[in-house]
Every structure is written in structure tokens, then in C-alpha cells.
Structure 1
């Protein structure tokens, strides 16, 4: 757990408000529009979750990492409530993720973003050097 004045970032799953996370992601995050509450819950259960909380303990941000904790991690679903944007909280969430994963010495931590490159660059993310090597299966399994 880390405190970022006036915010606290925690990986305690009992503090997460997944109904709020579902609302944020399914209505306000272009990459997750319409995502079901069940899917949000399954994703959170299989991930390391980071909640950001204001000075009164209300959840104001979220991020999650999918990882084997040995070689690879994927940072995703980073979201900061609109009223708390522009205060560096997205960067603080990314720092908390980086610092939490540092002891595992992962070979690679990836993410995908279309509009927040500078946020992630502040904590050490760089453009992938060989994007032509990346492949994916669109809509795999669903």
C-alpha cells in the first residue's frame, strides 16, 4: 500500500468497489464499453487489482495487472474518476503497479494505450521496439 497525497493506492481486494469499477469501465472507457458486471468480476478475480482512494476512503481510480508473476505482466483497465483527473493519479497508479511488480523481476510489462503515452512514459514505459512481432486474435473465444 502506498499513500500519494491526498490519495492512497492499495491492492487490498476487500476495498474494491467492483460495481463502481463496472460502471466506470462499461460506460466511460472506450476499450470496455458495455462490458458486463460478470466479466469485470471474473477479470478482477484473476488479476492483481489496484484501487486508488481519496482522503475519505472513497474509490477514485482503478488499475489491474494480469501476470504470471514470473516473466510477464499486462497492465490494463486503468481508470481515474473524472473529478480526479489532471492531478497525476494515473501516473501514481502506474508507479504503484511498477513498484509492486519490481520484486518479481518480470522480463516484460506491457500495456496498450492510444492517448496516454506521456502518463506511462513518466514511469518508464517505452514504445515497443518491434511492434511487427506482436500478434493477437481479435475476439478470441467470444
Structure 2
């Protein structure tokens, strides 16, 4: 049975670190200290089957205007079973996120999933700006 929880004490940092640093395309080589700090400062969602963590996502938000969804994953052996959709449902329906005006996320390969929740390409990408710095890699 699937459980989705925002209880950070249930998160398995080793599962999260292994996936993000070894299997994701966006967080390769991210060290465990950086991952822990990002968890500490985010609203996190763990996906569990029989108390084993099989998925994760975090939301960076001010709980008033804006939320950015990051580091979303379901472990490879659990993909294709609807767990990603359940995770997104939990995020989008979380009580503390209901009055937001704007949501954001970035993806290379999951547009179909996110479109089901109302996400679309930027209407005015020309007004968006960013600074992208390479994270210093520290010893693991």
C-alpha cells in the first residue's frame, strides 16, 4: 500500500542521495550534505510502500504566492505504476499550498505527467531570467 508523507523524520537520506547523485540527470554528483540542507529548507514529500521509501519530491515555497517543485523521482523499479501521479496529487492538494498564485518546475522528460496537473510551457519565457552557477563538488 502506498503512503505519501511530509514527515521529514521518515525520509531515508541514503535513498534520496543515491538516486539524485547517481541516477538523476539534474543532480549528478550532488553531495549528501547539500541534499540534507535542501531537505531542511523545503516542504518534502516521501513516497513509501510498506515503509520503504520509493519516491521523493520537495517544494520550495513561501506558502503565500509561489512554489517550485524540485527533485521529483520514483525509483526505477516502481515507475509506471501511478506513484508519480499520486505524488503530484499529494503535492498539488496539500492544504498549505492551496492559495498560491504561481507554481514552477523544470523537466526534460516528464511533460505529460505535469500537464495533467495544469503545468504548461512558460507563456512569456523572454521575461524569465536566471543565474546558473556550477555547484562546487566536495568530497563524498
What is the CA-CA distance between 1:101 and the residue it aligns to? Answer: 5.3
User: 1:101 and 1:128, CA in 2 relative to 1: closer, same or farther beyond 3 A?
Assistant: farther
What is the CA-CA distance between 1:123 and the residue it aligns to? Answer: 1.7
Contact 1:91 1:123 in 2 (8 A): no
User: 1:85 and 1:127, CA in 2 relative to 1: closer, same or farther beyond 3 A?
Assistant: same
User: 1:90 and 1:58, CA in 2 relative to 1: closer, same or farther beyond 3 A?
Assistant: same
TM-score, structure 2 length as denominator? 0.91
What is the CA-CA distance between 1:42 and the residue it aligns to? Answer: 0.3
User: 1:26 — aligned with what?
Assistant: 21
TM-score, structure 1 length as denominator? 0.90
User: 2:62 — aligned with what?
Assistant: 68
Segments of 5+ residues of structure 2 without an aligned counterpart are: none
Computed over aligned residues only, the root mean square deviation of the Cα atoms, in angstroms, reads 1.5
Q: What pairs with 1:129-140 in structure 2 (closer than 5 Å)? A: 129-139=123-133
Q: Which moved more, 1:103-112 or 1:71-80?
A: 103-112
Count the aligned residue pairs: 136
What is the CA-CA distance between 1:86 and the residue it aligns to? Answer: 0.6
What is the CA-CA distance between 1:133 and the residue it aligns to? Answer: 1.2
What is the CA-CA distance between 1:67 and the residue it aligns to? Answer: 0.4
Q: What pairs with 1:1-142 in structure 2 (closer than 5 Å)? A: 6-54=1-49, 56-100=50-94, 103-139=97-133
Higher relative contact order, structure no. (Cα contacts within 8 Å, ≥ 6 residues apart): 2
Contact 1:7 1:52 in 2 (8 A): yes
- Aligned to 1:20, the other structure's residue is in SS state helix
Q: Tell me the distance in 2 between the aligned counterparts of 1:131 and 1:105.
A: 24
Q: Tell me the distance in 2 between the aligned counterparts of 1:121 and 1:90.
A: 13
Segments of 5+ residues of structure 1 without an aligned counterpart are: 1-5
- Aligned to 2:93, the other structure's residue is in SS state helix
